[in-house]
A and B are shown apart, each in its own frame.
Chain A
Amino acid sequence: MSFSATGLLLASLLYLMILFGVAWVTERGVFPQHWVRHPLVYTLSLGVYAGIWAVYAAVGIAAESGFGFLAYYLGISGAFLLAPVLLNPVMRIGRAYQLTSLADLFAYRYRSQWAGTLVTICSGAAILSLLSMQIQAVSTSASLLAPDTSRNLISVMFSITVVLFAMLFGTRRNQGSETHQGLVMAIAFDSVVKLTALVTLGGVILFSVFGGMSGLEVWLESQSSPASTMTMSIDDGSWRALMLMSFAGALVLPHMYHMTFSENPSPKALAKASWGLPLYLLLLGLPVPLILWGGQELAATTGPNFYAIGTAQALGSPALTLLMYIAGLSAASGLMIVSTLALAGMVLNHVVLPLRTPKDHSDIYHWLKWIKRLLIAVIIFAALLFHETIGTNLDLSILGIISLSGMLQLLPGALGVIYWPEGNRRGLIAGLVSGMAIWIVTLVLPFSHTANLLEWLGAPLVPDYSNWHIFTFISLTLNVSVFSLTSILSGSSAEETSAAQACSLGALSRPHRRELVATSSSDFVHQLADPLGYGVAKREVERALGQLKLPNMEYRPYQLRRLRDQVEINLSGLLGPAVARDLVKRHLGYKPMASSGTAQDIRYVERALGDYQNQLTGLAGELDNLRRHYRQTLQNLPIPACSVGEDGEILMWNHTMEQLTGITADDVVGARLMALPEHWHLLLDDFNCGEELHRYKHRMDLNGKPHWLNLHKAALSGPDHPEGGSIILVEDQTETRLLEDELMHSERLASVGRLAAGVAHEIGNPVTGISSLAQNLKLETDDPEILSTAEQIQQQTRRISTILQSLMNFARTGNHSQANRYEPVIIQRCVDESINLLSLSDRGLGITYINDCPDQLMVLGDEQRLVQVFVNLLANARDASPEGGTIRVSGNRDGYSAIIEVTDEGSGIPRDQLDHIFEPFYTTKAPNKGTGLGLSLVYSIVEEHYGNIHVDSPADPATGLGTCVQLKLPAYEPEPSNAAISQNERL
């Protein structure tokens, strides 16, 4: 049975068009996102692993070594079943640092551009033979179906189609999504086609050739040779080698790395694939023995490698034959597209960009896309060249072995990334170079019929098809030994150790806190504009700011360091880690270090620990709880506290500090003291830099009100903590200070009172004498002049007596022992009495007094003294009031206080006099009108009643007139519940 060349070509093109269609439709968003990102699609896309080997070569190996072919599936199944310890860590690192290929991972972990470049060269060399294997399989299968077709033409046509597909769907880089969804969907479709074809063929063979399971059993029993029944003993060496290569494939094959990690939609999808891929491979491997036996039974004309097609031809079914051809085509195209794409990315990041960093490009994304497209074409045509010159003469399985054994050389370095932090770049490069040298000398050159050095040298063991595994193990052993020895003997750089810690399982990177040259995010743009161009630099910085949820303009050093890391991560996805790191290092540099050691970035570590919270168990979990406890203690400390690093960066800012300053921790932690508002910055910076450890009663005006602060400082350094920095406590002493002021005022009043009492007593006696003498004088003469003089003397002495009486009253107020005699006083009654007293001496000004106090408003006190208070206040109000004015006394309860306000409509008290009105002998009245003791007396009496007094002037801000005197006295509660309780008691 044969097909026409044109028909076959059309069928091939039709299939590839369908593949294009699937990818195109996906990219257009026709399929819902939850389909495209479904773990099943992801798992099927991982079926890219099963290239031509799975469709054709597996049957060939089964014919030679029986179930030995399973090693190719079991190795990678093992790797996926171990995903939690093998693949998840790599995915975590790759996602965190945007590492899109194994070369990126190596360059990041080993901090060496050479490591990345070497991985790229090794992968490139090894992949060529794998690509050649795919081209060979497609062209051979096409020639089996249409013998008159030119194999070269098929190879070229196939290669061109693959190039086109990879260019169209593999190089689009959507800024929003890092994955190529069209590509993933197309590869998943490929996997479905492969599986359907193989399972269909297996089923057809089972039922139409052998007549079902029982027929197969009978047939197997009838076969005498173990080779026919696949029961021959496994060749240990080649089995182990193939299994190891397949195991390594999960990590080191470029197409597998790309599909597993770069196109991964979520960690959950990888978890599902950990059993999903082995299941897919099981289904793919199941028909292999059936196809082999079917080929043997039907005496297929092709070699065992192509039994899939030979058997279908022998069955006489053109549809099945075409389906098997399409299966091969889909397997080959899928693998070629993805591996070329992955390799092109590696070459771009690790060969092209280090040689020529793009400069002065208006659109770097566009430039990168076209370079990548060019590289895809170059790689595929290199593979085609390799195929035409060497590959075409080699067996499919040998091509696979050369490729996989080459890729195996990357396994030690890849495992070192996760499990061996001591491994370093020197060890890696030395190991890789030696392993690759052995691989080239003992496997590549002899099997490609180029040169067999060992044969020329007359070595006891010469590579051939039966002992290839020995040389695979020799190269790997040498690689591992050189890697470990060199790593142990040579030290790692600090940078490398830090990267190793970031990569190793469960480790936290512990970055150092250093100051960047750039002081704001706009500086970032200017500094990056040099290598990237202004537009790209601006877009990248804005993207990173958006990802970190930072404001458009950022100044805080801690956030700038995060921004720098994020920019590096994003550029790493674009240009590869080595170029990105170099670019960021060169253009977003740190300031030279002031001291030899730098402090750890405590906040960074804290944030990372916060992210790890769910994963910390056992001792680490307990320590984390302890850390949280102490942190909370500091945060909730009722004294404002902040800690400051050696370089003046704020590391902690607790809740009470937030309340005192009105500045939130989010705004200042990670910023310098300089970033604080000026008054805080001046105070804290000055205190932090100064020698003094305590500063008392520092006055600061906050919101227009004076505050008094006590500052205390302690150095953070100690035996367990060598880093500098200090902790600053800020005590708000404002209330204490106000109380002190009040106390001083009272003290002054008390001393004046004592003085007045003494003076009054001493003056009283002579004045009484003078008054008596004047009285006598009046009795002893009738001279009207003398009588008038005597009368005046008596008037003046009465006046002196009144003043003395006031002084005595004032002095007596200091006596708090009278408080015991306090009784409930109704304020309304007091006010009424005061109004009555004043009315007696009304000077005819027509003042109206209004008493608005509620009758239930009561305080505990001395009624007579409270009347004195109101008489004084009302008299002052009357004196200040204009003719016909109104004076209003109002009262209300405010919690446990009684608030009484005396408001007049007078001229008010000038602001500069307000501070003095309670001072004794301070008066603004005419000499004969007042003694200046009235308000002092009021103040003393109110204090005696445990109240306070407050004056507002002007009372009416609109007119600027009036004064309001507010008294606040402890209110008296008559306790009506007592009766109820006693009634209850009686019951």
Chain B
Amino acid sequence: MYIYRLVFLLVLAIYIFSPNILDWWTSPGNAWYTPYIIWAGLIAIGFWLEWRRDPNEF
């Protein structure tokens, strides 16, 4: 259960700070599509994790 607690804490932290993170992404200096690029980055990480996943895991 150790790993799940860690994941839970991480998710909670991201959730709490998500408005600030989004404000940072959409600050006037950035291009309008910046949030989408960062979002795409997250998807790429998700894809990579899924790709290298051990087939026996879960």
Contact = CB atoms under 8 A, between A and B. Distances in A.
A84 B57 contact: yes
A419 B19 contact: no
A278 B39 contact: yes
Interface in B26-58: 26-28, 31-33, 35-36, 39-40, 42-43, 46-47, 50, 53, 56-58
Contacts of B16: 240
B42 A278 contact: yes
A762 B7 CA distance: 104
Interface residues on B, range: 20 to 34
A356 B35 CA distance: 53
Nearest to A70: B35
B39 A82 contact: no
A614 B56 contact: yes
A234 B19 contact: yes
B46 A274 contact: yes
A331 interface: no
A282 B58 contact: no
A821 B25 CA distance: 107
Nearest to B26: A67
Nearest to A234: B19
Interface string A280-302: 00100110010000000000000
A419 B1 CA distance: 9
Interface stretch (A225-233, A339-347, A736-744, A764-772): A225-233
B43 A231 contact: no
Which secondary structure dominates chain B's binding surface? helix
A67 B22 contact: yes
A692 interface: no
Contact of A505 (B4, B23, B39, B47): B4
Given A67-B22, A78-B11, A278-B46, A84 B36 contact: no
Given A77-B42, A85-B7, A239 B22 contact: yes
B15 A279 contact: no
B54 to A, nearest CB: 9
Contacts of B26: 66-67, 230-231, 234
A244 interface: yes
A234 B11 contact: no
A285 B36 contact: yes
Nearest to A226: B28
B46 A239 contact: no
B50 A74 contact: no
Interface residues of A, number: 46
Contacts of A216: 32
B11 A74 contact: no
A272 B43 CA distance: 11
Contact of A275 (B18, B35, B43): B43
A282 B39 contact: yes
Which of A67, A77, A285: most chain B CB closer than 10 A? A67
Given A67-B26, A286-B36, A271 B53 contact: yes
A310 to B, nearest CB: 21
B36 A81 contact: no
B47 to A, nearest CB: 4
A267 B25 CA distance: 34
Nearest to A243: B18
Contacts of A278: 39, 42-43, 46
B32 A289 contact: yes
Contact of B36 (A239, A272, A282, A615): A282
Contacts of A505: 1, 4
Nearest to B3: A85
B41 to A, nearest CB: 11
Given A82-B7, A84-B57, A233-B23, A240 B43 contact: no
A74 B32 contact: no
Contacts of A82: 7, 11
B35 A244 contact: no
A505 B3 CA distance: 12
21 contacts: A84-B53, A84-B57, A217-B31, A226-B28, A229-B28, A230-B26, A230-B32, A234-B19, A239-B18, A239-B22, A240-B16, A243-B15, A243-B18, A267-B58, A274-B50, A275-B50, A279-B43, A282-B36, A286-B36, A419-B4, A615-B57
